[in-house]
Amino acid sequence: MAELLRGRRIHGGRARAQLLVSGEALSFFGGVDPDTGIVTERGHPLEGRSVAGKVLAFPHGKGSTVGSYSIYRLARQGRGPAAIVNQVCETIVAVGAIIADIPCVDHIDLLRLEDGALAEVDADRGTVEVLDR
């Protein structure tokens, strides 16, 4: 059964893809390989997994402001997330989503998202719909 979650639009657009969910913050500079989209941060719950083409859900970003460019680089190489969902989207992730043209929504309760489920993000409306668990 589908569940509709309402949040806040950071950058508009729509995406439908599998959820990749983490309860820990993520650094795009040094934590995600910009050539492959693989999370490389040692000990991170998503270590070894790819963000490419996924609805990437995590509490907030962390690390260097270069992370914004790293998100852009991922997208330019076809390895970026299909959408980004945060509890609180801070400046690094917001700027990265905007320059990379990745739909982004925040103020979403990540505990309501299940890793691997199919989700549809309508960032224009600020919604995330979990379609299949």
User: Known catalytic residues?
Assistant: 64
Residues 8, 126: Cα–Cα separation, whole Å: 5
Residues 114, 132: Cα–Cα separation, whole Å: 9
Contact 92, 68 (CB under 8 A): yes
CA end-to-end span of the chain, whole Å? 8
DSSP strand E in the chain: where? 3-6, 8-11, 14-21, 55-58, 83-86, 104-106, 118-122, 127-132
